[in-house]
Amino acid sequence: MLTLSEPATVESRGRLKAFAYVTAEKAALHRAIMRVFMESKERFALHLRPQEIFDAVCNCGLQKSPDETEIESALEQLCEWGNLQTRPDTSDVNTVEDFYKQRYAFHITNQGEAAERALELFQSTSDRKGELQTHALTDIRDRLIELKEFARQVEPVPAQIHRSLLMVRSRFDVLTSRAQAFMTSLQRSIDLAIAETDQFTSSTQSLIDYMERFVSDLVIAAEDIAQTLREIEASGLERLFHAAADCSLVDAVETIPADRDGIVDEWRSHWGRIRSWFVSRPGCPSYADILRARARASITDLLSVLTSVNDRRINRIDRSNDFRVLARWFAEAGSDADAHRLWRAVFSLVPARHLIVNDATLDDHEKQDVPPTTSWLDAPPVQISTRLRASGSYSRTGRLSRIIDRTAEKKKLAAASHQEALRILNAQRRFATGRRMRLSDIEQLETGEFDLFLDLLAEAVSASGFEDDAGEILSNDGSLRLKLEPTADGRVAVIHTPEGIFSGPDHWISIGANSLSD
């Protein structure tokens, strides 16, 4: 007979009761019953009678079909743990006897449903393979561009804002979770490769190429995403959050202001996670930068391990291989005498190099005529002197190694470095005027000037991202600030250098000293 009990949601002996059915004695039966309730809830059948539960459990493919007593006991136990609840079943009452007959219907509780969904998530996550999703970066960037346009509109559509925010959050969660799983599995692979050489497969090179492609895509996408995030925040981020909250509450039966504020706070939290992932702060690099650095370090580790593995496979010189060869030699020894000679050759004790026996002691030992077979316990002691204990460390003195004079080479390198620094300084003096001019106005550059100019130009073009966008960067030493803007008039700039002619679309360029570099 079933007995009613209050649902239990508190911890019992350090463990949540809602998960007790996973490790119980009849865990398979309990899991089958919980799956029956989850499937019935998907069909909006919220209450089940014992007979319906019995029929469903018998058809779920258990190795041994349970009887009604076992199912009643399992239902009672699940009610005690708080996964199920009962209520009186009066739906088919036709007589007074039926009314007084104690019958119950069962339904799954919120904590029971949460526990079952947590187990489903655990199983799906544990089997999921990690990966570095480049297309997720592209999706996030595209959706953020949409949000930037919505933020600039006077009256944006709340449904479109809500959809874009949901897409950004979903793709961001997938990107971060898969990246974490990938880096964890990668570290396990590196550790396994160090410990177990034979299990390090030949797919390492393709893995390195895969990571290099992701790192290069991450460098470009992360900067674009960070810039877009800043532009959205400057255009009115809170307005987007409130519009998304209004869209979320459209279908609610009854709402209060606190519901709207709670949704807005939730979106702020999600946005903060996304921002910290792509935007760095002083003294706190973004998670994208951390992932990029970790991926690059893993590439180096993989290359080192791959080199070590190849060396082991080619040379096979290691302690374990030496012991295997030695064991084979012992097994192939023709007699015990041969095995003893092999043992003395490999493991026999030899005179310690830090111990000295003088001539007088050796003469005295020879006079006693001690046979070689005499035990150390029975033989007379040999007087020796301990060099290390008496005089400390011992090293053989000899002729010092010849010291090579590198004075001429050092002077030559110093002169070359000085000339290179002068060329760079002259180039900075020529360009760092802060004046806005066209590339076509430069006309001619010397070698040192052209090298500096080409480095700055490459950085500015990569920073602009798109062909029609302006780019502004700092030089590697932080002393110069360069701004590059397209002229949009179709003109071509031609610059003559000692190495050849440099040509390309004309741009406005301004180079000035960075005021913060001092």
* 7-37 per-position pLDDT tens digit: 444 444 445 788 888 888 888 888 888 888 8
pLDDT in tens, 338-397: 888 888 888 866 555 556 666 777 777 777 777 778 887 888 777 766 665 555 555 555
For residue 446, CA distances in Å to 169, 418, 434, 501, 504 come to 51, 17, 20, 12, 18
pLDDT of residue 448: 67
pLDDT of residue 294: 85
Q: How many residues does the chain have?
A: 518
Q: Are the C-beta atoms of 509 and 482 separated by less than 8 Å?
A: yes
| 1: pLDDT strictly greater than 50 | no
Residues 432, 441: Cα–Cα separation, whole Å:
15
Mapped onto helix, strand or coil, the DSSP state of residue 181 is helix
Does residue 97 carry a pLDDT above 70? no
386-to-348, 354, 377, 423 alpha-carbon distances in Å: 21, 7, 21, 65
Among the listed residues 56, 119, 52, the one whose alpha carbon sits nearest the alpha carbon of residue 83: 119
Burial class (CB in 10 A: 0-12, 13-18, 19+), 109: buried
The percentage of residues in the chain with a pLDDT greater than 90, rounded to a whole number, is 1
What is the residue-wise DSSP string for 356-410? E--HHHHHHHHHTT--TT--TTTSPP---EEHHHHH-------PPPPPP--HHHH
Cβ 242 vs Cβ 259: under 8 Å = no
Confidence of residue 219 (pLDDT cuts 50, 70, 90): confident
Q: Break the chain into its structural domains and give their ranges.
A: 11-126, 134-312, 420-517
Which residue is it, tokens 């199912």? 71
Q: Among residues of the chain, what percentage have pLDDT more than 70? A: 75
Distance, CA of 10 to CA of 15 (rounded, Å): 9
Please state which CATH class domain 11-126 belongs to.
mainly alpha
**Domains 11-126 and 134-312 fall in the same CATH topology:** no
pLDDT above 80 (res 197): no
Higher pLDDT, 204 or 41: 41
Q: What's the burial of 154, exposed, middle or buried (CB within 10 Å: 0-12/13-18/19+)?
A: exposed
Q: What pLDDT digit, counting tens, does each position of 455-501 carry?
A: 777 777 666 555 566 667 766 666 667 777 887 787 888 888 887 88
- Amino acid 402: pLDDT: 65
Taking a C-beta distance cutoff of 8 angstroms, is the pair 27, 105 a contact?
no
User: Which pLDDT does position 395 carry in this prediction?
Assistant: 58
pLDDT at 381: 76
Amino acid at 367: K
CA distance 238 to 215: 32
Query: Residue 230 pLDDT more than 60?
Result: yes
CB–CB of 329/342 below 8 Å? yes
* 3-state DSSP assignment of residue 318: coil
In the structure encoding, which two tokens stand for residue 359, read together? 């001539």
According to DSSP, the residues that pair with 436 across neighbouring strands are 510
Report pLDDT digits (tens) over 416-429: 888 877 776 776 67
Lowest mean pLDDT among 69-73, 171-175, 358-362: 358-362
The mean pLDDT of 283-299, rounded to a whole number, is 85
Q: What does CATH list as the number for 134-312?
A: 1.20.58
Cβ neighbours around 256 below 10 Å, total: 10
CB 115 within 8 A of CB 37: no
pLDDT of residue 14: 42
Query: CA of 119: how far to CAs of 7, 33, 51, 392, in Å?
Result: 20, 14, 26, 67
* Residue recorded with tokens 């970066």: 137
CA distances from residue 274 to 25, 48, 137, 216, 366 in whole angstroms, order as listed: 44, 44, 12, 20, 86
More confident residue, 1 or 125: 125
Q: Which span out of 144-158, 246-260, 397-411 was modeled with the highest average pLDDT? A: 144-158
**Residues facing 355 on adjacent strands:** 386
> For position 69, what pLDDT does the model report?
85
Q: 178-187, 289-298, 478-487: lowest mean pLDDT where?
A: 478-487
- Cβ–Cβ < 8 Å for 247, 159: yes
CA distance 279 to 272: 10
Strand (E) or helix (H) holding 425: helix 407-431
Using the structure block, give the residue that is written with the tokens 């036709």. 94
